[in-house]
Amino acid sequence: MRKPNLVIIHHTAQNSCDQTLKTFTLTRTKVSAHYVICEDGTVHHMVNDYLRAQHAGLGKWGNITDVNSSSIGIEIDNDGSEKFKEEQMISLELLLAQLKRAYNIPQANFIGHADIAPTRKNDPNVNFDWKRIAEKGFGNWYGDTTNVQVPADFKPMLALKMIGYDIKDSTAAVTTFKRKFLQNEGLKPLTTNDKKVLYAAWLEAMK
Ligand SMILES: [Zn+2]
């Protein structure tokens, strides 16, 4: 038994909720998550919140190296590239509010699978609306960047690390950051505007 203090959001990368629910009940697959949210917004509670589930795999966030032991895993039914349904977002927000209240989980501790495993994972995909849920108190975002002046000595990789990312593979960390905070998929270096956003996100994370 443990008290969860972190929430990891996934997409299932499967074709249907039925397929996912079946996968999670087969012991040989050795995968499970606490919640599955189907396309129509139905929420299936699969594993007791106080028990550890196997959804995160190898990963790291800040100083946390055993993510499964401290987290709740939420799988959203999605083939890996499609948009998330409004019904799913509404159910997700209700579930996140319930978890935040029940376990007193800090706003910053609502993150995605890719955030903890940038070299292996890309979920939830680029269509996931992090800004929307951050405005409701789940996960950090950033403020207006119009008048942001990035200091000359600003170190982007250090900022990513301080936000929580494992920066061992710097390309993977940057890619993950851009997917989430700039809805920009692909291996691209940080532009001047990206650096502004990263600086603003870092300021937010350091509050
Ligand atoms: Zn995942």
Let me know whether 112 and 169 are in one domain.
no
- How far, in Å, is the centroid of ligand 1 from the Cα of 157? 24
User: Going by C-beta distance under 8 Å and a sequence separation of 6 or more, which residues neighbour residue 129?
Assistant: 84, 89
Domain count, the chain: 2
Structural domain includes residue 35: yes
> What pTM did the predictor assign?
0.96
Structural domain includes residue 143: no
- How far, in Å, is the centroid of ligand 1 from the Cα of 12? 7
Let me know whether 78 and 127 are in one domain.
yes
Cα–Cα nearest to 112, from 87, 158, 155, 78: 78
Let me know whether 194 and 162 are in one domain.
yes
Confirm if 160 and 173 have CB atoms less than 8 A apart. Answer: yes
Percent of the chain whose predicted confidence (pLDDT) is above 70: 100
Structural domain includes residue 65: yes
Phi first, then psi: what are they for 17, rounded to 5°?
Answer: -65, -40
Let me know whether 112 and 24 are in one domain.
yes
**Could you report the per-residue pLDDT of 9-32, keeping only the tens digit for each?**
999 999 999 999 988 888 777 788
pLDDT at position 31, please? Answer: 82
- How far, in Å, is the centroid of ligand 1 from the Cα of 29? 14
Structural domain includes residue 148: no
Structural domain includes residue 144: no
pLDDT at position 131, please? Answer: 98
Task: Give me the tens of pLDDT residue by residue for the chain, a chain 207 residues long.
Answer: 889 999 999 999 999 999 999 888 887 777 889 999 999 999 999 999 999 999 999 999 999 999 999 999 999 999 999 999 999 999 999 999 999 999 999 999 999 999 999 999 999 999 999 999 999 999 999 999 999 999 999 999 999 999 999 999 999 999 999 999 999 999 889 999 999 999 999 999 999
- How far, in Å, is the centroid of ligand 1 from the Cα of 105? 20
β-strand partners of 107:
none
The rounded distance, in Å, linking the Cα atoms of 157 and 125 is 22
Q: What's the CATH code of the domain at 102?
A: 3.40.80.10
Let me know whether 180 and 95 are in one domain.
no
pLDDT at position 200, please? Answer: 98
- How far, in Å, is the centroid of ligand 1 from the Cα of 30? 14
- Which residue range(s) make up the domain with 197? 156-205
pLDDT at position 25, please? Answer: 82
* Residues 73-83: b if buried by 16+ CB within 10 A, e if exposed: bbbbbbeeeee
The rounded distance, in Å, linking the Cα atoms of 54 and 56 is 6
β-strand partners of 73:
8
The rounded distance, in Å, linking the Cα atoms of 12 and 10 is 6
pLDDT at position 75, please? Answer: 97
